[in-house]
Structure 1
Amino acid sequence: MSLADRWPLEDHVELRDALLVAWDRDGYHDLLHLAEVLDRLDELASEDVDAPTVALAAWFHDAVYEGADDDEERSAQWAESALPAAYADEVARLVRMTVHHRPADDDPAGSALSDADLGILAAPPERYAAYAAGVRADFAHVSDDDFRAGRAAVLSDLAANPSLFHTRRGRELWEERARANLARELEELRRGE
């Protein structure tokens, strides 16, 4: 199934096509990332989550990605202005949640999106290395020393959480491998690699 076929709103293909163009870029936050997040949402499917709404949030969560502090906010604003009213507010809320990946305990939709987005942390070594290289490419404008310090801070903040994932299924599928990948990358960053 193509990525275009995974769009949940049949009558909004122009919006889908605009999003596909927005995601078609170099770095980690690209079409592959979108496809992987949608795949992981399928793995986390739950009766507690409105699948079309969370899928739309996945489509929008990094739609604007320029390495700026307001990328998620601009992505959320795009969702608010472009989506039908039945979806706009909730999709925008979910997109904004991805700034810190800290959904409330009683937020199954936010938990699913956060886990699907962070599921890359549990990737096999080759894919994880490509992910890390893609993140570095996303921040090519940042010096090596500043990037290492910033990346280490982000990973250390994640690693300090009692769990990286908010859904039981996400923890079962990914927690152990993700922690091993984080520890390995943090060690490489500390060594200056």
Structure 2
Amino acid sequence: MRRDEVWDEAVRITGGDAAGLATVRADLLRRWSEPHRDYHDLRHLDEVLAALTELRPSALDDDLAWAAVVFAAWFHDAVYDATAPEDNERASAEMARDALSRCGVDSATVELVGELVEESATHDVTQTRGPRATFHDADLWILAAPLDRFDDYCSAVRREYADVPDDAYAAGRAAILGPFLDRADTYRTEHARRRWEPRARANLRVELDRLSGSR
């Protein structure tokens, strides 16, 4: 399904105010289209939604969980400022809670969406199915992308941090990517571990080698 169709399904499932949520969606599309975004843009949103769709049959048990991960995908990079990255997830989560609450989405779903967005800052998830595992894996699908897309992702993130000196960027980026390779499994859901894990680990080795200057 296209991004708007996925959004509309989530609106129907939650019974939120369709007109109000249409305005929220328009604002999110504007945010995802901001010119300073090279990776955290509409293509990334579409890839996360496609990954969620792939994981849905095996990792989610009900439609409300699906609606929550869809809303989390739309909101998780709603605020994206590379000059203050430590605050992006918190601010995006606050935006999600405020917007969804005002539009009549039930409080349990609103809180789950906010938590999913906040947790995307650390990707510290232990569950192997359900909304947390599913959203974690979908947001990290890019690590398992075909090599040309993975290379494009790495270059796009570097452009977003163009003001950071090379040495500092390499150290900081390695500190983010390295732990995903250090884990026993990069992904949490069984489907992602089986289908995405080998490519992700190969891609991570390539980028960590580049960051260290060994290739």
Q: Post-superposition shift, 1:107?
A: 6.2
Is this contact kept in 2: 1:41–1:112, CA < 8 A? yes
Q: Post-superposition shift, 1:155?
A: 1.3
Counterpart-to-counterpart distance in 1, 2:87 and 2:129: 23
Q: Specify the alignment match of 1:82 in structure 2.
A: 99
Read off the aligned partner of 2:90 and give its amino acid letter.
Answer: E
1:59 is aligned to 2:59: no
Identity of aligned residues (%): 39
Greater Rg by CA: 2
Q: Specify the alignment match of 1:48 in structure 2.
A: 61
Which secondary structure does the structure 1 equivalent of 2:196 belong to?
helix
Counterpart-to-counterpart distance in 1, 2:162 and 2:123: 24
Counterpart-to-counterpart distance in 2, 1:115 and 1:176: 14
Of 13-22 and 78-87, more deviation after overlay is shown by 78-87
Of 46-55 and 154-163, more deviation after overlay is shown by 46-55
Is this contact kept in 2: 1:148–1:192, CA < 8 A? no
Which secondary structure does the structure 2 equivalent of 1:69 belong to?
helix
**Unmatched 5+ residue regions in structure 2?**
13-17
Q: 1:47 to 1:148 in 2, by over 3 A?
A: closer
The counterpart of 1:18, out of the listed 4, 27, 31, is 27
Of 110-119 and 78-87, more deviation after overlay is shown by 78-87
Counterpart-to-counterpart distance in 2, 1:40 and 1:28: 16
Counterpart-to-counterpart distance in 1, 2:94 and 2:69: 16
1:67-89 per-residue CA deviation (whole Å, 9 max, x = no partner) reads 22010000000011100341321
Q: Post-superposition shift, 1:143?
A: 1.2
| Length-normalised TM-score, structure 2 | 0.85
Alignment of 1:15-164 (within 5 A): 15-25=24-34, 26-45=37-56, 46-48=59-61, 50-67=65-82, 68-84=85-101, 85-86=105-106, 87-105=109-127, 108-164=130-186
Q: 1:156 to 1:81 in 2, by over 3 A?
A: same
1:45-79 per-residue CA deviation (whole Å, 9 max, x = no partner) reads 13425111110011111111112201000000001
**Unmatched 5+ residue regions in structure 1?**
none
Counterpart-to-counterpart distance in 1, 2:151 and 2:120: 22
Counterpart-to-counterpart distance in 2, 1:37 and 1:97: 15
Is this contact kept in 2: 1:54–1:109, CA < 8 A? yes
Structure with the bigger percentage of helix: 2
Read off the aligned partner of 1:130 and give its amino acid letter.
Answer: D
Q: Which runs of 4+ in 1 moved over 3 A?
A: none
Which secondary structure does the structure 2 equivalent of 1:58 belong to?
helix
